[in-house]
Amino acid sequence: MSRRAEILRLTREFYAEELYPKEIFIPGRTKIHYSGRVFDENELVNLVDSSLDFWLTLGRYGNRFEERLSKFLDNRPALLVNSGSSANLTAITSLTSPKIERPLQPGDEVITPAATFPTTLAPILQNHLIPVFVDIEIETLNAAAKNIEAAVTKKTRAVVLPHTLGNPLNIHDLMATVRRDNLYFIEDTCDALGGTYDGRPLGTFGDFATISFYPAHHITMGEGGAVIAKTTELAKIAASIRDWGRDCWCPPGVSNTCNQRFGWQLGSLPFGYDHKYIYSHVGFNLKPTDMQAAIGAAQIEKLPKFIEQRRANFKRLYEGLSDLKNIFVLPQWDPKANPSWFAFALTIRPKSRLDPLELTQFLESRLIETRKVFAGNILRQPAYEHINHRVSGNLANTDFAMTNTFFIGVYPGLTIPMIDYMIESIHEACVKISQRSK
């Protein structure tokens, strides 16, 4: 047996002895996370295998993961980056490239919901674009298509929209606006990998889509993300933005992919200046390592099963909580959507008089993790209070959800007893808190 094979055999043994989940669920004593990494020996073996290569930068595992991801997303080009935030930064910056026909210009307006994740918004500001905030629907927590349509002005050039908590946007109405007004669409699919709309995968509707592989998401590479491009031209621009802004598209360790490394004349550089050091964009370095990609390459094999488990967990929660419809607004989704849920959102109805803080604290005291819908109304966050922006209509639902909405997990690490305990605890909380407020 080769040394490598021996190390990988031991790695499998190590997994079985040290990392295989052995904990038995004890209600009230075992923490019920809202999300987390779910893995087996294959992720560990890939990670060790990749570290033994000591290639470090994107290589064979990166290629494998990108190919599998692209296949999963109707063969759209997929480009790995080091986070979902970097994916958003790459995608939005790519649309300012002078290499595209109608690049975004400073001062152009970009429509986005006010209930958002900070780094869905941040790249809009970082590119000197003006965010135009629209309100969400309480039932889906997504920017409402009618609000997006109403927000469009002559200055509007793009929409940057998340499928919030995995709930697909109303693609039908949204695409009508996008086409009519010739807008760019960045589809933040960070929370929604595996969902479909009208049978087509989310992440294949936008000019760009972005994905996060942080451990809370559908699959993980530790830290990581991906940019999915509509065309190979856009993918090439995104690769340049990701890779220092360079014009050269050679993968790490490779030279002369273009066959004319010393044959270019770009900008006012002298003819023959090494293409490896020609920069056509003001870029970043947002690449992950091949070790991260190795984990992702094992995770993507599990993706179909994970999606199924997320849907089943969501369904069990939905059925178990449906008698509380008078107290909570339960999630709703488009008839054409088949969501791959990130989480289960509950919005407390005003007439129920339940105190949201009391309710979430009760659940947390039972070791059931709860989370808010990211930044809430981001305009109320210290970093974003004074940004240059416009609000279209009002943000009443956004403000309402900021106070009254929270979510619990549906991730594949949850078991049926855990889900039933969550359902039971929510019922108990409703009885206890409402009795006290009488």
Does position 117 bind ligand PLP by CB under 6 A? yes
Which are the contacts of 112, defined by CB distance < 8 A and separation ≥ 6?
120, 121, 124, 131, 132, 133, 134, 143, 159, 160, 161
Q: 118: which 2 tokens?
A: 């900070």
Q: Which of 119, 142, 289, 340 binds ligand PLP (CB under 6 A)?
A: 119
Distance CA 247, CA 241 (A): 9
Distance CA 139, CA 346 (A): 9
- In the bound state with ligand PLP, the residue whose beta carbon lies nearer, of 212 and 340, is 212
**Stretch binding ligand PLP (CB under 6 A), from 28-36, 68-76, 78-86, 146-154:** 78-86
Distance CA 221, CA 395 (A): 35
Nearest distance from C-beta of residue 124 to ligand PLP, angstroms: 13
Does position 400 bind ligand PLP by CB under 6 A? no
Instruction: Tell me whether residue 218 is one of the annotated catalytic residues.
Output: no
Does position 85 bind ligand PLP by CB under 6 A? yes
Catalytic annotation, pick one of 33, 128, 172, 217:
217
Half-sphere exposure of 270 (CA within 13 A, CB side): 2
Does position 407 bind ligand PLP by CB under 6 A? no
Q: 91: which 2 tokens?
A: 């995608």
**Stretch binding ligand PLP (CB under 6 A), from 113-121, 151-159, 251-259, 264-272:** 113-121
- In the bound state with ligand PLP, the residue whose beta carbon lies nearer, of 68 and 371, is 371
Does position 162 bind ligand PLP by CB under 6 A? yes
CB 328 within 8 A of CB 350: no
Nearest distance from C-beta of residue 88 to ligand PLP, angstroms: 6
Nearest distance from C-beta of residue 9 to ligand PLP, angstroms: 33
- Whose tokens are 């550089």? That residue is 269
Nearest distance from C-beta of residue 83 to ligand PLP, angstroms: 3
Query: Which x/- pattern, by CB under 6 A, does the window 204-223 give for ligand PLP?
Result: --------x-x---------
Helix (H), strand (E) at residue 11? helix 3-14
- Which string of DSSP letters, residue by residue, matches 161-187? EE-GGG----HHHHHHHHHHTT-EEEE
How wide is the angle at C-alpha 20 spanned by C-alphas 14 and 24, nearest 5°? 145
With contacts defined by CB under 6 A, how many residues of the chain interact with ligand PLP?
A: 14
Q: Which of 49, 187, 188, 334 binds ligand PLP (CB under 6 A)?
A: 188
**CA 328 to each of CA 332, 347, 367, 419: distance values in angstroms, whole numbers, following the listed order:** 12, 5, 21, 18
**DSSP class of 115:** B
- In the bound state with ligand PLP, the residue whose beta carbon lies nearer, of 59 and 123, is 123
Does position 120 bind ligand PLP by CB under 6 A? yes
The three-state secondary structure class of 227 is: strand
- Which string of DSSP letters, residue by residue, matches 293-314? HHHHHHHHHHHHHHHHHHHHHH
Distance CA 193, CA 215 (A): 13
Pairing label, strands 225-229, 78-81: antiparallel
- In the bound state with ligand PLP, the residue whose beta carbon lies nearer, of 49 and 137, is 137
Nearest distance from C-beta of residue 164 to ligand PLP, angstroms: 7
**DSSP class of 430:** H
Residue 365 main-chain phi, psi, to 5 deg: -65, -20
- In the bound state with ligand PLP, the residue whose beta carbon lies nearer, of 58 and 327, is 58
Q: Which of 46, 50, 83, 299 binds ligand PLP (CB under 6 A)?
A: 83
* Residue number closest to ligand PLP, CB atom: 84
Q: Which of 148, 190, 337, 430 binds ligand PLP (CB under 6 A)?
A: 190
- In the bound state with ligand PLP, the residue whose beta carbon lies nearer, of 111 and 354, is 111
Nearest distance from C-beta of residue 414 to ligand PLP, angstroms: 18
**Stretch binding ligand PLP (CB under 6 A), from 25-33, 117-125, 132-140, 389-397:** 117-125
**Stretch binding ligand PLP (CB under 6 A), from 46-54, 149-157, 188-196, 329-337:** 188-196
Nearest distance from C-beta of residue 286 to ligand PLP, angstroms: 11
CB 65 within 8 A of CB 57: no
**DSSP class of 348:** E
Number of H helices, E strands in the chain: 12, 14
* Catalytic center residues: 217
Binding stretches for ligand PLP (CB under 6 A): 83-85, 88, 117, 119-120, 162, 188, 190-191, 212, 214, 225
